[in-house]
């Protein structure tokens, strides 16, 4: 009997909760879905219980599980690659100018990725009399466009990889993605000594959507550059950037997932924190849908 009563006591034991905690639970029920949880976190930020950086990273963690490789990959046309069928002297200047740590190695064409070359391995080119770049290549990792970023991040960590080649449903190379690209969805842009804020990176044309042309645009893109690239005439009298334009349109700081039309363009916020929008997906609508709506 003593053993039985002891067992029951152990089974029934529950963490002690204060009267305040129990009353709070009755008044404020726990969130039942992700949207409610994010609302609770947003409220916590507004009451200064968590800071903006912490809230932004928590939102980034949720976002990583929603995005796939195709959403953030570097498109095939913008990949910096080396073609090992050409003499090293031909592509070495590009390696030096781009200053990446890794380069996909192709054999004649971009669909024939045969490995990854680490820039540090090129030091042997200057130190050894005989140097065969093929011997320096590391195996390339190939992933489908649909691979979720949270799964990819786990694979990167488990296999100690830093780069993956993204392929489409037909096996063709669609782009590349790095572990840094994934982490930036959580902690924001990671800049190193070789990163430059070049205007040509602010607006990136991507695969056309259901209605037509689409672009991935940084929130800090100046309206003047946006107008020039997309042929629009948005005013820059009140605000200077596209992030400011959409904040004015919504009358608040944009949040991830916000979608709205301005003139004949559809805007969707892909990444934002409590202070500003970072990345927007913009799609040009047919003229018949050129109405402004929140």
Task: Let me know whether 140 and 180 are in one domain.
Answer: yes
Task: Let me know whether 150 and 219 are in one domain.
Answer: no
Residue 18 clears pLDDT 80, i.e. is over it: no
- Does some domain include residue 29? no
- Does some domain include residue 53? no
pLDDT digits (tens, 9 = 90+) for 253-294: 888 788 999 988 999 988 777 677 888 889 988 865 444 444
Residue 13 clears pLDDT 70, i.e. is over it: no
Residue of higher predicted confidence among 61 and 265? 265
Domain-ending residue, one of 166, 187, 208: 187
Residue of higher predicted confidence among 190 and 214? 214
- Does some domain include residue 5? no
Task: Let me know whether 172 and 204 are in one domain.
Answer: no
Give the global pTM: 0.57
Task: Let me know whether 95 and 157 are in one domain.
Answer: yes
Mean predicted confidence (pLDDT) in 189-200 = 50
* pLDDT more than 70, % of the chain: 79
- Does some domain include residue 20? no
- Does some domain include residue 175? yes
243 vs 60: CA distance, rounded Å = 18
Residue 4 clears pLDDT 50, i.e. is over it: no
- Cβ-based burial of 165 (10 A; exposed 0-12, middle 13-18, buried ≥19): buried
Total number of domains in the chain: 2
Domain-ending residue, one of 187, 210, 232: 187
Query: Distances from the Cα of 37 to the Cαs of 30, 34, 43, in angstroms?
Result: 8, 5, 10
Query: What is the pLDDT confidence band of residue 199, given thresholds at 50, 70 and 90?
Result: low
Task: Let me know whether 175 and 231 are in one domain.
Answer: no
Name residue, tokens 């192709």. 106
Mean predicted confidence (pLDDT) in 54-72 = 82
- Does some domain include residue 192? no
Task: Let me know whether 119 and 156 are in one domain.
Answer: yes
- Residue 266 maps to which CATH number? 3.30.465.10
Which of 81, 66, 56, 65 is closest to 253 using CA atoms? Answer: 56
Query: Distances from the Cα of 55 to the Cαs of 42, 60, 61, 187, 286, in angstroms?
Result: 7, 8, 10, 10, 37
Beta bridge partners of 117: 103
Residue 113 clears pLDDT 60, i.e. is over it: yes
The pLDDT assigned to 279 comes to 85
Beta bridge partners of 113: 106
Phi, psi of 253 (to 5 degrees): -70, 125
Helix 179-187 with 52-66: angle, nearest 10 deg:
130
Task: Let me know whether 142 and 210 are in one domain.
Answer: no
Domain-ending residue, one of 187, 218, 247: 187
Task: Let me know whether 183 and 206 are in one domain.
Answer: no
pLDDT digits (tens, 9 = 90+) for 86-111: 998 889 888 887 778 899 999 989 99
The pLDDT assigned to 288 comes to 52
Token code pair at residue 139? 């195996």
Sign of the torsion angle spanned by Cα atoms 246, 248, 254, 260: negative
* pLDDT more than 90, % of the chain: 30
Task: Let me know whether 168 and 206 are in one domain.
Answer: no
The pLDDT assigned to 97 comes to 75
Residue of higher predicted confidence among 141 and 287? 141
- The domain in which residue 182 lies consists of 70-187
- Does some domain include residue 282? yes
Residue 28 clears pLDDT 70, i.e. is over it: no
Task: Let me know whether 91 and 168 are in one domain.
Answer: yes
* Per-chain mean pLDDT for the chain: 80
Residue of higher predicted confidence among 184 and 162? 162
Query: What is the pLDDT confidence band of residue 82, given thresholds at 50, 70 and 90?
Result: very high
- Does some domain include residue 57? no
Residue 137 clears pLDDT 90, i.e. is over it: yes
Q: Which of 28-37, 47-56, 150-159 has the lowest mean pLDDT?
A: 28-37
Task: Let me know whether 213 and 251 are in one domain.
Answer: yes
Query: What is the pLDDT confidence band of residue 244, given thresholds at 50, 70 and 90?
Result: very high
The pLDDT assigned to 74 comes to 86
Task: Let me know whether 75 and 183 are in one domain.
Answer: yes
């Amino acid at each position: 009997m003593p053993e039985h009563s002891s067992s029951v006591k152990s089974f029934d034991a529950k963490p002690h909760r204060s009267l305040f905690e129990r009353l709070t639970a009755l008044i404020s029920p726990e969130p039942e879905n992700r949207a409610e949880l994010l609302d609770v976190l947003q409220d916590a930020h507004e009451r200064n219980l968590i800071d903006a950086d912490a809230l932004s990273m928590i939102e980034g963690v949720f976002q990583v599980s929603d995005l796939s490789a195709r959403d953030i990959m570097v498109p095939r046309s913008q990949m910096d690659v080396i073609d090992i069928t050409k003499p090293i002297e031909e592509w070495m200047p590009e390696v030096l100018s781009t200053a990446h740590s890794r380069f996909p190695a192709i054999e004649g064409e971009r669909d024939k990725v045969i490995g990854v070359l680490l820039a540090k391995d090129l030091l042997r080119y200057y130190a050894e009399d005989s140097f065969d770049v093929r011997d320096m290549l590391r195996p390339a990792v190939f992933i489908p466009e649909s691979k979720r970023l949270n799964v990819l991040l786990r694979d990167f960590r488990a296999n100690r990889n830093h780069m993956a080649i993204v392929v489409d449903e037909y096996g063709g190379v669609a782009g590349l993605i790095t572990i840094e690209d994934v982490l930036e969805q959580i902690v924001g842009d990671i800049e190193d000594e070789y990163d430059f804020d070049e205007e040509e990176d602010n607006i990136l044309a991507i695969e056309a959507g259901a209605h037509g042309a689409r672009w991935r645009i940084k929130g800090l893109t100046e309206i003047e550059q946006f107008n020039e690239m997309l042929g629009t005439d948005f005013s820059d009298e009140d605000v200077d950037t596209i992030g400011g334009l959409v904040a004015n349109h919504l009358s608040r700081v944009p949040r991830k997932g916000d979608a709205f039309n301005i003139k004949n363009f559809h805007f969707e916020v892909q990444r934002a924190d409590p202070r500003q929008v970072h990345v927007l997906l913009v799609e040009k609508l047919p003229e018949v849908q050129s109405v402004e709506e929140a």
